[in-house]
Structures are given as C-alpha cells and as structure tokens.
C-alpha cells in the first residue's frame, strides 16, 4: 500500500514564517529542509494575499507585535527577514533599536525564545553589517558600557576598520548583526552567517544579502522526538534531487531554479545583444538558469519616466510566472513592484543555506 500525500506531509518539518512577503525565503527553506509552511505572519494585506494564495492551508497570524506565542502551534523551523528600512544603506541608517521598523527583530527574538524551534533562518540586507544597534537594557541592568551614549549617533566611519567586525570593541558601537547574534546567544542558540550576492547563483543583479542559520546550543529532551527528521541539507544532498524549488501539494511551480549556478561561458546571440546591449551576457545566463526568456523590461506608456514591468522584476527574482503578477491576486502594478522589491530570490537563499557550514 502506498503512503498517502497527507502521511508524507505529516512527517515533514514544520515551518513558521515571519515577515513573510511573497514567500521567497519560505520556498528556499522548504526545499533545503524538506519542510512545509504551516502558518505565517504578514501585516501587509496585498502581500499577505500573495502568500495565502500559494500556501492556502497556512493561516496568517497577523501583526507580530500582537501575537501571544504561547498560543501558537510549535514549529521545527522559524524563518523570516525582519524589516530592513533602518539598517539599509539606502535608508536613514537609524539602526537596530527599539521603536524602529528594524527593531521588530525583538519580536522575532521573543518568538524564538517561546517556540524554541530546532532551526532559525534569518535574512536581511547588507546594512546589517554596518548599521549600529541599541540593545534594550534588561530590568535592573545599569551597566551603561553595553550601550555607549555615542552609539546611536556614531557614523559607519567610526566603526572598527575590519568590515566583518560586529562591534565587539568596548568603545565602539554595536553593529546590527552583532546585536542579532548576541540576542540569539542569550536565547541559547548557536548561529552561523554568510553574506552572498544574488549574482552568485547567476542572477543578473547583485542584491547582496546576509543569511543567518541558528540552532539550539544544547539538545533538550523535549525535542528528541524530532531527531529522526533532523536531516541536514548536506545529508539531503546525497539524495538524487534537482537543485531547484519543488512543488508542494498545495501549489504548482514551474521548474525554474538553480540548474547551473555558474551559467557557464554563455554567449548571447545577436538578437539578445541588440535587445539588451551590455547586459546581454547576464540576461542570457539567467534565461539559461531559469529556463525561460526575459519578459519586456519596462512598462510602455505615455509617461516620460519608464517604470520596470512587474513580470520582468518577477523574472529577475527567479520566481515562477505569475507568482506575484497573476491578475487573480488583484494587486496593482505598484503593489506588485513593492512586494517584489522587498522579496528574496529563492535560489539565492537556497545557495546561502547550503553554503553555511555545520
């Protein structure tokens, strides 16, 4: 007797998704860990509509600041990319601090502490390496040295010269990544991280991102029941499987993925050269990797300034056709572009998770 789809799904690791967006990070986590997303948290209604369309069985828990994590079903993996506005180099660099959008990381840390997942996956922008951070002072802690008075106003130039330092000098301001790693350590999690551009997997854009993978520092008897399912991505890699996003029982994906990360020495034909000029090699490589041609790059209308066409940006992100732009989702072009601009390239996240050492 063959095993039912429901029985197979019950054995897969359960994923809880925070700051979910259109689900790019979730696609990568599901593939790398052979997992399934069981609930998500997204406050932006149009974007939540996209996520709910592709994961119809996963309820939206809503605003992360109002969730009582003691009432939330436990998960094996918690993933999310907390807001980047205050740590992004294109923003005001307000830093990771209470009261900022990026300060919502504290709510994700609370979720980790209460739910105690076996794995935590975090994604954010390059600015996490440079932006300063203010860690909330615990009750009864009057040690001002952990948050120097000059930290909030400190410029990036005042940080230690090593670009990979995290602000561990006592007279230097703490960096955002250092604060995140410190919070994970306080909760009892070991973490490793990596920074990679999306071009590493052949995408025709840089889109540098930082990925963090964390797990409990010590095993806990209450979680031993998960052991038979705790296969690492390296153990999974020994199985015969394609290196691209696979469909789940609740949605259908095309076969775009990371077939050829390096892309080889692809030569663009004359038609591609005429259409894309100096961008032709990068476009040809991504067309080869995704297995489909690039859509028209701009919206053609009477406006003096050309705007990027959402289907083209969707293709740049390595997503299946219509993942965000399907008319049935009811998103305006502006909403589609906003969702896509804040998203994750699934192949990029998959490569990063597989590159992080155990």
Q: How far apart are CA 60 and CA 20, in angstroms?
A: 10
In a domain, 150, yes or no: yes
Interval 161-177: pLDDT, tens: 455 555 555 545 677 88
In a domain, 320, yes or no: yes
Residues 295 and 206 in one domain: no
Residues 189 and 312 in one domain: no
176-187 helix and 105-115 helix, angle to the nearest 10 degrees: 20
Residues 233 and 290 in one domain: no
In a domain, 284, yes or no: yes
Collapse the DSSP code of 121 into the 3-class scheme (helix H, G, I; strand E, B; otherwise coil) and give the result: strand
Residues 63 and 139 in one domain: yes
In a domain, 234, yes or no: yes
Rounded to 10 degrees, the C-alpha dihedral 248/253/256/259 comes to 20
**What element of type H or E holds 5?**
helix 5-11
To which residue do tokens 């063959």 refer?
A: 2
Query: Which strand ranges, in their side-by-side order, compose the sheet holding 77-80?
Result: 35-41, 13-18, 77-80, 119-125, 209-216, 189-196
- Burial letters for 166-184: b for 16+ Cβ neighbours within 10 Å, e otherwise? bbeeeebbbbbbbbbbbbb
In a domain, 254, yes or no: no
Cβ-based neighbour number of residue 295 at 10 Å = 15
In a domain, 251, yes or no: no
What pLDDT sits at residue 67?
A: 94
Residues 51 and 154 in one domain: yes
Confidence band, pLDDT 50/70/90 cuts, at residue 5: low
Residues 199 and 282 in one domain: no
Residues 324 and 232 in one domain: no
In a domain, 170, yes or no: yes
Q: How far apart are CA 268 and CA 273, in angstroms?
A: 6
What pLDDT sits at residue 276?
A: 84
To which residue do tokens 């390496």 refer?
A: 129
In a domain, 333, yes or no: yes
Residues 233 and 317 in one domain: no
Residues 102 and 214 in one domain: yes
Q: How many domains does the chain have?
A: 2
This prediction has a pTM of 0.76
Residues 309 and 230 in one domain: no
The DSSP string of 28-63 is HHHHHHTEEEEEEE---HHHHHHHHHH-TTSPB---
77: pLDDT strictly greater than 50: yes
Assign residue 217 the CATH number of its domain: 3.40.50.150
Rounded to 10 degrees, the C-alpha dihedral 351/356/357/358 comes to -100
Domain enclosing residue 312, as ranges: 270-344
Residues 207 and 339 in one domain: no
Residues 197 and 329 in one domain: no
**Average per-residue pLDDT in the chain?**
76
More confident residue, 301 or 15: 15
pLDDT average, residue stretch 95-107 = 64
Confidence band, pLDDT 50/70/90 cuts, at residue 125: confident
């Amino acid at each position: 007797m063959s095993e039912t789809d429901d029985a197979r799904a019950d054995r897969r690791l359960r994923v809880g998704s925070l700051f979910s967006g259109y689900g790019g990070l979730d696609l990568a986590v599901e593939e790398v860990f052979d997992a399934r997303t069981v609930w998500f948290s997204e406050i932006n209604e149009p974007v939540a509509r996209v996520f709910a369309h592709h994961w119809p069985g996963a309820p939206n828990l809503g605003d992360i600041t109002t969730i009582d994590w003691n009432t939330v079903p436990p998960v094996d993996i918690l993933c999310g990319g907390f807001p980047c506005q205050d740590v992004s180099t294109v923003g005001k660099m307000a830093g990771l601090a209470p009261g900022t959008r990026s300060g919502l990381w504290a709510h994700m840390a609370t979720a980790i502490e209460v739910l105690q997942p076996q794995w935590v996956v975090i994604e954010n922008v390059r600015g996490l390496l440079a932006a300063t951070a203010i860690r909330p002072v615990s009750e009864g802690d009057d040690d001002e040295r952990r948050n120097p008075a000059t930290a909030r106003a400190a410029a990036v130039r005042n940080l230690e010269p090593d670009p990979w330092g995290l602000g561990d000098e006592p007279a230097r301001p703490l960096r955002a990544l250092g604060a995140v790693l410190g919070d994970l350590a306080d909760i009892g999690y070991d973490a490793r991280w990596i920074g990679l551009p999306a071009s590493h997997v052949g995408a025709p854009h840089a889109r540098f991102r930082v990925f963090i993978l964390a797990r409990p520092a010590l095993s806990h008897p209450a979680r031993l029941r998960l052991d038979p399912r705790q296969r690492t991505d390296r153990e999974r890699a020994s199985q015969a499987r394609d290196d691209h996003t696979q469909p789940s029982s609740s949605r259908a994906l095309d076969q775009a993925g990371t077939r050829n990360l390096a892309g080889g020495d692809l030569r663009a034909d004359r038609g591609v050269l005429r259409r894309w000029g100096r961008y032709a090699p990068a476009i040809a490589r991504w067309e080869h990797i995704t297995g489909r041609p690039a859509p028209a790059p701009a919206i053609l209308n009477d406006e003096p300034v050309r705007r990027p066409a959402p289907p083209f940006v969707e293709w740049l992100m390595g997503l299946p056709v219509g993942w965000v732009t399907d008319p049935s989702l009811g998103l305006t072009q502006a909403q589609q572009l906003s969702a896509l601009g804040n998203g994750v390239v699934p192949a990029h996240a998959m490569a990063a998770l597989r590159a992080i050492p155990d």
